[in-house]
């Protein structure tokens, strides 16, 4: 049975009043519509499980004090999903094994992004601590691929299917609350921006497979980690459009590579972010990381080749 109860709660803070309930599954909207550096959180009432504590500090503080939280789960290791994890330092943390290492150490975290130059690393080291309250954590338990967990909610237990969905990160997990027809897709967020797959451990092809795996669950309610975060029975076109962003990026890289181009040239096209954004070094990194994935794919498929000559490496369409 699917309960669709959008009733706001009588709690006092506006953040808590904005939460949306689907049976015992609550969506806690993030600041600024859950746009980066914020995300939407999910809470399982009764089981007192909090997923991705990156939404809103006052709402999460109130949740902790009024409802109680017994454990925290993360869909994956990215910073916008653990911003307020420091409020729950004393509680067990669960995350998939492939995503645990970046949380254990700042340097491992920076390496997982492969930030490259020292200035950018230092910028991120500061942001990570001051904005995202990074503190090294070790998981109490790791998710082990697709598995089923039964949570002690009332009046009946709640079954959670952990859905292994690599691509965005190697250990990304989605959570399907079957009895309630609610799927939390994490960072496969169905936004017009499209998927992120720019980390060394990310994969375009795994991203495609994971999105289709989530779509195949045919969940009546999809909750996502960013923006409005609620899709009722999302139509096939919504899933298709999300993946078509990958194809559109690929088309634009290919079109631009009609002449030999350096990485600086390619980054300057702002194919991912559409225009230069601040802090520039941070967004240039994102452009470069994504371009590298597409160039690798295009080179592997024989559509693009390295152009000989010149001091800097260049790429050109075959």
In the complex, residue closest to Zn ion by CB: 78
Q: Please report how the helices 204-216 and 280-300 are oriented relative to each other, as an axis angle in degrees rounded to 10.
A: 90
Spatial separation of the C-alpha atoms in residues 91 and 159, rounded to whole Å: 21
284 in contact with Zn ion (CB under 5 A): no
CB of 136 to Zn ion, least distance (A): 19
Cβ neighbors of 310 (< 8 A, separation 6 or more) are 260, 262
Residue with smaller CB distance to Zn ion, 153 or 287: 287
78 in contact with Zn ion (CB under 5 A): yes
Binding mask 34-73 for Zn ion (x = CB under 5 A): ----------------------------------------
Structure tokens at 278: 């601040």
Beta-strand relationship, 93-96 and 41-44: unpaired
Closest CA to 136 of 94, 163, 108, 164: 108
CB of 186 to Zn ion, least distance (A): 7
CB of 224 to Zn ion, least distance (A): 11
Residue with smaller CB distance to Zn ion, 54 or 260: 54
20 in contact with Zn ion (CB under 5 A): no
CB of 187 to Zn ion, least distance (A): 4
Residue with smaller CB distance to Zn ion, 2 or 106: 106
Backbone angles phi, psi at 51, to 5 degrees: -115, 130
Residue with smaller CB distance to Zn ion, 99 or 284: 99
Only one of the segments 41-49, 110-118, 184-192, 267-275 lies at the binding site for Zn ion (rule: CB under 5 A); that segment is 184-192
Residue with smaller CB distance to Zn ion, 164 or 187: 187
DSSP string covering 68-124, please? Answer: ---EEE-SSS-GGGSTTGGGGTTS-EEEEGGGTHHHH-HHHHHHHHT--SHHHHHHH
Task: Count other Cβ atoms within 10 Å, centred on residue 139.
Answer: 19
CB of 90 to Zn ion, least distance (A): 25
187 in contact with Zn ion (CB under 5 A): yes
Neighbour-count burial for 265-282, b at 16+ CB within 10 Å, e otherwise? ebbeeebbeeeeeeeeee
Site residues (CB under 5 A) for Zn ion? 78, 187
């Amino acid at each position: 049975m699917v309960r669709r109860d959008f009733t706001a709660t009588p709690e006092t803070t506006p953040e808590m009043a904005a939460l949306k309930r689907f049976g015992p599954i609550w969506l806690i909207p993030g600041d600024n519509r859950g746009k980066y550096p914020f995300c939407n959180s999910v809470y399982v009432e009764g089981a007192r499980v909090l997923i991705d504590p990156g939404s809103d500090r006052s709402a999460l503080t109130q949740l902790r004090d009024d409802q109680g939280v017994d454990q925290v789960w993360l869909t994956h290791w990215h910073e916008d999903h653990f911003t307020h994890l420091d409020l729950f330092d004393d509680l067990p943390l669960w995350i998939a094994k492939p995503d645990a290492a970046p949380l254990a150490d700042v340097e491992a975290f920076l390496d997982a992004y492969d930030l490259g130059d020292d200035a950018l690393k230092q910028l991120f080291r500061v942001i990570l601590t001051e904005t995202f309250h990074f503190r090294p954590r070790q998981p109490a338990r790791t998710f082990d691929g697709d598995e089923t967990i039964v949570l002690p909610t009332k009046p009946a237990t709640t079954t959670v299917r952990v859905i292994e969905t690599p691509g965005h990160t190697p250990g990304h997990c989605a959570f399907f609350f079957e009895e309630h027809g609610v799927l939390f897709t994490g960072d496969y967020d169905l936004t017009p921006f499209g998927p992120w797959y720019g980390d060394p451990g990310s994969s375009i092809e795994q991203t495609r497979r994971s999105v289709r795996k989530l779509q195949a669950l045919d969940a009546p309610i999809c909750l996502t980690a960013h923006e409005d975060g609620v899709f009722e029975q999302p139509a096939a076109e919504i899933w298709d459009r999300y993946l078509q962003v990958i194809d559109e990026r690929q088309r634009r890289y290919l079109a631009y590579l009609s002449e030999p181009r350096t990485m600086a040239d390619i980054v300057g096209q702002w194919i991912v972010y559409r225009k230069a954004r601040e802090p520039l070094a941070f967004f240039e990194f994102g452009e470069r990381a994504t371009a590298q994935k597409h160039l690798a794919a295009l080179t592997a498929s024989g559509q693009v080749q390295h152009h000989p000559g010149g001091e800097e490496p260049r790429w050109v369409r075959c």
